[in-house]
């Protein structure tokens, strides 16, 4: 056997050995590993410093996986017998979260194994080695509240002031997770309670948000300041918005807050209880709204009246209660309390606060569940407008509309054209913003996430177009149709494509275009002749090519239901050709649309093993008819009533019985 033949064998043996070593390390089998490597000492160090991707998708060295599972004896054996790089990084999973760039020490600290942490530190592991997001082993220990590991690491020079990429400190994560003992220890060690994360929140905000009253008290005793975050919210307001009643009731006793701030906190607390998905309680909502109103009128000589705000149509133009009598009058009216509470939240938090829309969406979903689609859509449109006003992502909002519109059409509920048009306008706006961010990303923009959102929005706008084509068939006036065409023209001019280069027109004729399976799949199916025609009428490039140089014509001729969906296939091909689609464009395989239609698709469609000749001949015959049928169209129309079903039957017979084609 030559050297070139031996090399793959060596690699295969090494790979097999590495796999066995890795899984032995995962299971803590120290003697097994030593036995496996005893006869391969020359390559042992090299193998042990290599990564392997396991069945969970983790990319680790044997040392890292041993540290995760707390096998201290094995870790000691590896470190004493072999020359390992302690700072090698891996990709690990904890509770469903993927951690990239984790060292063995970070993994041991995150998993809570003090003995492994000690072993690694004693052998020289870097105590401040950060992950990809700049999380240190100390932060990992703070996350799980392992005070013993926190103390050990700080005793060995771990820096308590290192924050992650979001400037979220060890103190913040300990406060957020509710670990009072760790918070107290970090404060004693000099952690700054007033440090701000990128969102402007302090550790006090995080403790208040999660309802950790004892930590809030502890931090205030250490002199933590009352600071507003970037949305203008104090820890008191944060606690009220998250329905943390215990924290609110404690903080309103503090001298740091004015009477007006206490009243608004109680109102916000009550209003949030009325529309919170996880902590909904109308009794508590009324209690805190009533308590706040009493506080407004406690001093008859100095009544603190509510500021007047503009009624919101989505909230049924609700005018907030101004007196105790007003509030008592709606006590038993659930809908009135819900709308009152939504109005209060928007007044106190402001239209620019990102926390305002979610309860509005929740209330809309409740209406949808009882088939009050009109109220649901009014609320969701308001939430959509608020989010777009603040340039927040609306990728989920747009899909939600596609789902409910599809549900309404499917069950036969009237769907107002204006609502679909409003969502189409919002979709175009969102896609424009996605493109702008991808072309000019800001310092806080995650380009990969934005690209993913654009991909999702492209699919969603396609669903909206399917729904729109169904509406404009039915008595929509010329002005409305013209406005839709303007929007679709604008959409086409954006030249949006998926990651594989497919335009909206490609997707509209592609049977592989993904369709959301929550109601949407009842209405949206591809290829869709109506959407393809609408896009073509509004200026879509019929000769645009994806990354494999496929035009829409290349895509549609691959459709695997040429007989059962004849009219769709026929309509799309004719529309493309009449709009100027070139039949001589070749894709990256050097195939024209005609040649693409005759290479292998019939074999897959028939699900049989054939020689290449017969299925290719059938597809060539069938697609040739479609490419040229528009020439014979007048004649076909005169004969279709008498022969069309017979012809289709004969074509189907030919497909099912290839021998008939001889």
Alpha-carbon span 35 to 45, nearest angstrom = 14
pLDDT at 567: 86
Which two structure tokens, joined as six digits, stand for 79?
Answer: 């470190």
Do 527 and 508 meet the contact criterion of CB atoms below 8 Å apart?
yes
| Sole residue written with tokens 């509240």 | 145
pTM of the model: 0.84
Could you check whether 1-159 and 162-257 share the same CATH topology? Answer: yes
Provide the sign of the torsion angle of the four alpha carbons 384, 388, 391, 396, taken in this order.
positive
Provide the sign of the torsion angle of the four alpha carbons 344, 350, 351, 355, taken in this order.
negative
Nearest to 211 by CA among 193, 184, 185, 236: 236
Backbone phi, then psi, for 494, in 5-degree steps?
-75, -15
Alpha-carbon span 372 to 380, nearest angstrom = 12
Do 468 and 484 meet the contact criterion of CB atoms below 8 Å apart?
yes
Q: Note if the bond before 527 is cis, omega within 30 degrees.
A: yes
Domain 162-257 coded CATH 3.40.50.720: no
Backbone phi, then psi, for 91, in 5-degree steps?
-110, 120
Do 175 and 206 meet the contact criterion of CB atoms below 8 Å apart?
yes
Domain locations along the chain: 1-159, 162-257
Do 523 and 467 meet the contact criterion of CB atoms below 8 Å apart?
yes
Ordered mean pLDDT values, 10 residues apiece, the chain (662 residues): 43 71 86 78 82 90 94 93 94 92 97 98 97 97 97 98 97 98 98 96 98 98 96 97 98 96 98 96 98 96 92 97 97 97 98 97 96 97 98 96 97 95 98 95 88 97 97 84 95 96 97 94 95 97 96 92 79 94 93 75 35 41 51 45 34 35 30
CATH topology of domain 1-159: 1.25.40
pLDDT at 640: 43
Nearest to 245 by CA among 216, 202, 203: 216
Q: Where are the beta strands (DSSP E) in 400-557?
A: none
Write the pLDDT tens digit of every residue in 93-152. Answer: 998 899 999 999 999 999 999 999 999 999 999 999 999 999 999 999 999 999 999 999
CA atoms within 13 A on the CB side of 237: 22
């Amino acid at each position: 056997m030559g050297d070139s033949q031996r090399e793959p064998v060596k690699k295969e043996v090494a790979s097999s050995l590495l796999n066995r070593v890795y899984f032995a390390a995962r299971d803590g089998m120290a003697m097994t590993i030593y036995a496996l490597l005893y006869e391969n000492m020359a390559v042992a160090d090299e193998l042990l410093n290599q990564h392997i991707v396991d069945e969970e998708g983790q990319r680790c060295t044997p040392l890292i996986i041993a540290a995760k599972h707390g096998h201290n004896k094995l870790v000691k054996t590896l470190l004493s017998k072999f020359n390992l790089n302690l700072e090698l990084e891996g990709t690990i999973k904890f509770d469903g979260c993927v951690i990239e760039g984790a060292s063995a020490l970070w993994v041991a600290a995150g998993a809570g194994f003090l003995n492994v942490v000690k072993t690694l530190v004693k052998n020289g592991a870097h105590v401040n080695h950060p992950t990809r997001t700049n999380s240190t082993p100390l932060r990992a220990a703070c996350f799980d509240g392992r005070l013993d590991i926190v103390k050990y690491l700080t005793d060995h020079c771990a820096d308590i002031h290192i924050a992650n990429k979001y400037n979220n400190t060890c103190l913040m994560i300990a406060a957020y997770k509710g670990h009072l003992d760790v918070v107290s220890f970090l404060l004693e060690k000099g952690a700054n309670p007033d440090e701000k994360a990128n969102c402007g929140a302090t550790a006090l905000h995080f403790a208040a948000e999660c309802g950790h009253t004892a930590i809030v008290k502890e931090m205030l005793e250490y002199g933590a300041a009352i600071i507003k975050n970037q949305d203008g919210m104090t820890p008191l307001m944060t606690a009220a918005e998250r329905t943390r009643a215990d924290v609110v009731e404690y903080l309103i006793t503090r001298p740091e807050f004015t009477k007006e701030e206490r009243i608004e906190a109680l109102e916000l607390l009550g209003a949030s209880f009325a529309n919170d998905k996880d902590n909904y309680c109308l009794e508590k909502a009324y209690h805190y709204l009533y308590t706040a109103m009493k506080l407004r009128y406690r001093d008859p000589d100095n009544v603190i009246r509510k500021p007047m705000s503009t009624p919101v149509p989505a909230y049924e133009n609700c005018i907030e209660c101004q007196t105790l009598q007003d509030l008592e009058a709606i006590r038993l009216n659930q809908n009135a309390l819900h709308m009152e509470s939504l109005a209060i939240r928007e007044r106190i938090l402001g239209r620019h606060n990102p926390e305002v829309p979610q309860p509005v969406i929740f209330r809309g979903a409740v209406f949808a569940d009882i088939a009050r689609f009109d109220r649901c859509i009014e609320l969701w449109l308001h939430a959509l407008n608020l989010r777009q006003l603040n340039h927040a992502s609306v990728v989920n909002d747009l899909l939600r509309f596609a789902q409910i519109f599809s549900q309404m059409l499917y069950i036969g509920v009237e769907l107002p054209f204006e609502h679909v048009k409003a969502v189409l306008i919002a979709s175009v706006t969102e896609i424009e913003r996605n493109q702008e961010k991808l072309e000019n990303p800001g310092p806080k923009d995650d380009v990969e996430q934005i690209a993913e959102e654009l991909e999702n929005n492209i699919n969603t706008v396609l669903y909206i177009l399917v729904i729109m084509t169904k509406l404009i068939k039915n008595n929509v006036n010329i002005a409305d149709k013209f406005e839709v065409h303007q929007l679709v023209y604008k959409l086409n001019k954006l030249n949006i494509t998926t990651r594989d280069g497919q335009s909206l027109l490609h997707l509209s004729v592609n049977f592989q275009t993904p369709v959301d399976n929550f109601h949407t799949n009842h209405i949206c199916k591809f290829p869709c002749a109506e959407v393809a025609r609408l896009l073509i009428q509004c200026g879509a490039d019929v000769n645009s090519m994806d990354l494999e140089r496929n035009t829409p014509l290349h895509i549609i001729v691959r459709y695997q239901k040429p007989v059962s969906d004849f009219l769709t296939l026929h309509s799309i091909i004719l529309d493309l050709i009449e709009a100027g689609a070139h039949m001589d464009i070749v894709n990256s395989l050097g195939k024209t649309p005609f040649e693409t239609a005759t290479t292998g698709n019939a074999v897959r469609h028939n699900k049989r093993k054939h020689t290449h000749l017969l299925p290719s001949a059938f597809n060539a015959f069938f697609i040739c008819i479609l490419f040229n049928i528009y020439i014979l169209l007048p004649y076909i129309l005169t004969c279709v009533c008498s022969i069309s079903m017979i012809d289709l039957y004969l074509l189907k017979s030919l497909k099912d019985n290839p021998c008939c084609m001889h």
